[in-house]
């Protein structure tokens, strides 16, 4: 018998080189024993004279892609004293651990593809335990090659030797491959696929390029004609297009801060919104002060950009509103008519993942879309949720995502899209079963939005086999912010400023500009923007002038509306609104911003994408100081008419549109912040939480924080403030309800 220790490491510890790291540590500390992967994470059995030093090094020197949640130790007795330290085979199936997100190409692998070794020089699928595909190739857990889309590629002798050597950085890197044995590129013309594709791009072609989580539509970002062609074919007239560039491209055409450069260079390699510097075609993002940039994150991207020596458009390979294409046959069927060539390969993509999108606000990072490189990371549940049951929550209708609660962790899925589209709906249902199977999730509680007609809500009812926990939309936003910030279950009530587009309220009306007082277990609606009719119902979300007409009439300024919108069917809409026909009342802050953008001439008659008018309003206010337009002083009804009247007067007096736009942000922020501050001062609230899609507007967020100076404020950083984070809020509310108490 030999005394030793049993060490359980939980967290993001599979597929990150953790076992060879432990093996190397064991050699250094002269330990005997073994390490293996199983359904709960990494399990170590060790004996030796410096186990304390070994344990300390596990946490302090862990691999770059790992994230340790817990290290648990217990005494262990070896029946036979171990000889040396070994790496054992993985055990079990299912998951009590996490899957590592896909990671951008590391510096060592980049050096390999630019080096002289014929096995890896110019090879588009080079990777190691510090980088490469993970979630997008995984079929089931544990994370072993046989359970990935690399299973069909038998390793050559050289790759097998690297894979088997614990001292090699490719030890048990499941996608390991080289030019002799791994996936291969294909292009539509003979010769080197990368060289041929690069030549086509430089000649103005639009290509489909296969990435990690799906295809991109790609063209030369300096070629206005190619950009116009892409927009026409994709049916995407004005929505901003993402760019991919080398550091020299990004630093030429943008002006990234140190924080923005760090985000770009992270293993997630997200799209980051950066201020324009040197000019690129305006058609990349009409009317926007920022462009979305990302660095190349696969060897293929690096090789392609090395060839073209200029930035490329890299936008999702789909028709607008449809899911991103992932299969080669699917690409030829769906994208064939849109592109002049297809650069693909024979490694299958296991699941669709769009690129993640983020921006840096003065307050820090903001995740706008949580996808490749960020999912399927988990969040620890706050104190008080230790005994929560397994929960499945299904989000909303737009920017849909799923959240699973299990073992004190919340797993928020990748961005799944808007459920209006039938193909996206199919993907949503597939993702539900995919996540449940992959993470061995057996929910006892289901949660959904209060709106009965959301497809996600109907799905929850079907999955629950009865009544799921129905959660009011803005309460879910508030709870998502609380959970992300680790607010304890019994931490007390907060004042939640929740500003977004639309959500069904508890009273049956449409909410969207709310001040709530609440926690995970419940809420009160303490104040809200004065409701205005959504003239034409859903059409008001697409046509900002309708909201301007409603708000101007409400403010006693119908003549201004008549002058601004002479061709619109104003009288018909006014009559319908007066009779309450297809004109539900809404307190939406998003529709209020639409109204202001229309009054200032910043919005099209019809938006081509959600948020277009509000984004234009934010962009024109960037860096400008304006007046603080005062809203009404009623404690419960936030009346915008006074502010609108002052705004119109300033516009007619010749004040610049940027100044007015800046004042609109400041005024709305002050109106909500004043009332939230009062709840904190009275002792009813412990802090203020800011959530809802409008808080992805960095100017609004900054103005609100300025107005709340000196008050504890919770904001989003890792979870989208928009509906992409809603499922997290639903899940923790359902968990809190199941735990009972008050």
Condensed to tens digits (0 to 9), the pLDDT of residues 663-686 reads 999 999 999 999 999 999 999 999
The 8-class DSSP code of residue 79 comes to S
In the predicted model, is pLDDT for residue 100 greater than 90?
no
**Does residue 457 lie within any of the structural domains?**
yes
**Does residue 405 lie within any of the structural domains?**
yes
Report pLDDT for 564: 97
Residue with tokens 């920022």: 290
**Does residue 380 lie within any of the structural domains?**
no
Domain shared by 427 and 561, yes or no: no
Domain shared by 340 and 438, yes or no: no
Quick: pLDDT tens for 80-97: 889 899 998 777 655 555
Helix orientation angle between 544-554 and 589-599, rounded to the nearest 10 degrees: 90
Domain shared by 248 and 341, yes or no: yes
Q: Which CATH number do you get for residue 15?
A: 3.30.70.100
In the predicted model, is pLDDT for residue 38 greater than 90?
no
Residue in 19, 120, 677, 699 annotated catalytic: 19
Domain shared by 472 and 504, yes or no: no
**Does residue 502 lie within any of the structural domains?**
yes
In the predicted model, is pLDDT for residue 742 greater than 60?
no
- 3-state DSSP assignment of residue 202: helix
Residue with tokens 């879309």: 369
Of 71, 87, 103, the residue at which a domain comes to its end is 87
For the question of residue 37 being annotated catalytic, the response is yes
- How far is the C-alpha of 191 from the C-alpha of 429, rounded, in Å? 41
In the predicted model, is pLDDT for residue 575 greater than 60?
yes
Quick: pLDDT tens for 615-643: 999 999 999 999 989 999 899 999 999 99
Domain shared by 462 and 574, yes or no: no
**Does residue 689 lie within any of the structural domains?**
yes
Report pLDDT for 97: 56
479 or 70, higher pLDDT: 479
In the predicted model, is pLDDT for residue 143 greater than 80?
no
Report pLDDT for 96: 55
Stated as kind and residue range, the H or E segment containing 335 is none
Of 340, 357, 374, the residue at which a domain comes to its end is 357
Domain shared by 218 and 315, yes or no: yes
Task: Name the pLDDT band for 60 (thresholds 50, 70, 90).
Answer: very high
**Does residue 368 lie within any of the structural domains?**
no
Residue in 37, 328, 547, 697 annotated catalytic: 37
Q: How many domains does the chain have?
A: 4
Q: Which CATH number do you get for residue 268?
A: 3.90.870.40
Query: Is this structure's pTM higher than 0.85?
Result: yes
Which whole-number Å values give the CA distances from 671 to 97, 632, 692, 697, in the listed order? 45, 8, 16, 17
What order do you get walking across the sheet with 312-316 strand by strand?
Answer: 185-186, 341-345, 207-210, 215-220, 312-316, 243-244, 290-294, 271-275, 357-361, 364-369
What order do you get walking across the sheet with 41-47 strand by strand?
Answer: 67-78, 2-12, 41-47, 32-38, 85-87
Residue 287 Rama label (left phi>0; alpha psi -120 to 50; beta) = left
Degrees, nearest 5: CA angle 346-352-358: 125
Domain shared by 671 and 530, yes or no: yes
Domain shared by 471 and 500, yes or no: no
The residue range of the domain holding 414 is 386-477
Domain shared by 500 and 620, yes or no: yes
Domain shared by 302 and 433, yes or no: no
**Does residue 375 lie within any of the structural domains?**
no
Domain shared by 199 and 327, yes or no: yes
Report pLDDT for 141: 76
Is the Cβ–Cβ distance between 533 and 583 less than 8 Å? yes
Domain shared by 211 and 305, yes or no: yes
Q: Which CATH number do you get for residue 471?
A: 3.30.420.360
For the question of residue 485 being annotated catalytic, the response is no
Of 22, 57, 87, the residue at which a domain comes to its end is 87
**Does residue 419 lie within any of the structural domains?**
yes
- Six token digits for residue 482: 């609380």
Is the Cβ–Cβ distance between 739 and 388 less than 8 Å? yes
């Amino acid at each position: 018998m030999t005394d030793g220790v049993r060490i359980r490491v939980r967290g993001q510890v599979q597929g990150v080189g953790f076992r060879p790291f432990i093996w190397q540590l064991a050699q250094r500390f002269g330990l005997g024993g073994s390490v293996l992967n199983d359904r709960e994470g990494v399990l170590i059995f060790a004996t030796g004279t410096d186990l304390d030093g070994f344990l300390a090094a596990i946490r302090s020197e862990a691999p770059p892609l790992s994230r340790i949640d817990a290290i648990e130790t217990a005494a262990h007795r070896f029946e036979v004293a171990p000889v040396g330290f070994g790496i054992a085979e993985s055990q079990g199936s299912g998951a009590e651990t996490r899957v590592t997100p896909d990671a951008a190409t590391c510096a060592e692998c980049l050096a390999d593809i630019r080096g002289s070794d014929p096995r890896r020089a110019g090879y588009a699928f080079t990777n190691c335990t510090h980088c490469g595909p993970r979630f997008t190739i995984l079929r089931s857990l544990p994370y072993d090659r046989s359970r990935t889309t690399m299973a069909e590629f038998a390793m050559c002798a050289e790759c097998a030797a690297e894979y088997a050597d614990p001292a090699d950085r490719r030890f048990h890197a499941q996608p390991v491959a080289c030019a002799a044995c791994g996936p291969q590129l294909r292009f539509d013309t003979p010769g080197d696929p990368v060289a041929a594709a690069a030549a086509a791009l430089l000649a103005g072609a639009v290509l489909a390029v296969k990435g990690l989580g799906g295809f991109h539509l790609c063209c030369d970002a300096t070629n206005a004609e190619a950009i116009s062609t892409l927009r026409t074919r994709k049916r995407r007239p004005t929505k901003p297009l993402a760019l991919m560039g080398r550091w020299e491209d990004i630093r030429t055409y943008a002006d990234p801060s140190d924080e923005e450069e760090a985000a770009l260079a992270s293993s997630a390699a997200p799209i980051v919104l950066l201020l324009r510097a040197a000019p690129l075609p305006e058609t990349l993002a009409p009317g926007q002060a920022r462009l979305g940039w990302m660095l190349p994150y696969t060897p293929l991207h690096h090789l392609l950009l090395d060839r073209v020596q200029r930035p490329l458009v890299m936008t999702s390979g789909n028709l607008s509103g449809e899911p991103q294409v992932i299969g080669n046959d699917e690409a030829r069927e769906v994208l064939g008519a849109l592109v002049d060539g297809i650069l693909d390969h024979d490694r299958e993509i296991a699941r669709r993942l769009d690129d993640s999108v983020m921006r840096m606000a003065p307050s820090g990072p903001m995740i706008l879309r949580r996808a490749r490189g960020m999912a399927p990371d988990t969040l620890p549940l706050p104190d008080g949720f230790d005994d929560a049951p397994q929960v499945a929550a299904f989000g909303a209708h737009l920017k849909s995502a799923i959240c699973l609660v299990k073992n004190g962790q919340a797993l928020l899925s990748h961005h799944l899209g808007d459920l209006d589209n039938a193909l996206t709906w199919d993907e949503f249902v597939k993702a539900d079963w995919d996540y449940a199977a992959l993470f061995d999730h057996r929910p006892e509680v289901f949660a959904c939005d209060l709106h009965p007609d959301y497809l996600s809500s109907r799905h929850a009812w079907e999955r629950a086999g009865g009544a799921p926990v129905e959660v009011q939309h803005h309460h879910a936003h508030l709870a998502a912010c609380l959970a992300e910030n680790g607010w304890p279950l019994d931490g007390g009530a907060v004042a939640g400023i929740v500003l977004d587009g639309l959500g069904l309220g508890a009273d049956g009306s449409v909410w969207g500009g709310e001040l709530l007082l609440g926690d995970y277990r419940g809420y009160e609606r303490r104040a809200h923007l004065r409701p205005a009719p959504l003239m034409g119902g859903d059409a008001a979300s697409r046509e900002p002038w309708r909201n301007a007409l409603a708000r101007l009439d409400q403010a006693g300024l119908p003549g201004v509306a008549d002058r601004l919108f002479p061709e619109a069917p104003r009288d018909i809409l006014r009559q319908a609104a007066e009779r309450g026909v297809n004109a539900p009342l809404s307190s939406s802050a998003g529709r209020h911003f639409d109204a202001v953008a229309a009054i200032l001439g910043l919005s099209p008659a019809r938006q081509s994408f959600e948020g277009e008018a509000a984004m234009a309003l934010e962009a024109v206010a960037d860096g400008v100081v304006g007046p603080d337009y005062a809203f009404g002083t009623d404690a419960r009804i936030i009346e915008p008419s006074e502010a609108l009247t002052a705004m119109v007067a300033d516009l007619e007096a010749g004040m610049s549109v940027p100044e007015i736009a800046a004042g609109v942000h400041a005024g709305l922020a002050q109106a909500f912040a004043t009332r939230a501050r009062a709840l904190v001062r009275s002792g009813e609230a412990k802090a203020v939480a800011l959530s809802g899609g409008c808080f992805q507007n960095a100017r609004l967020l900054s103005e609100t924080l300025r107005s709340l100076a000196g008050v504890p404020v919770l904001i989003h950083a890792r979870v989208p403030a928009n509906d992409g984070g809603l499922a997290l809020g639903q899940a923790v509310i359902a968990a809190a309800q199941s735990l009972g108490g008050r």
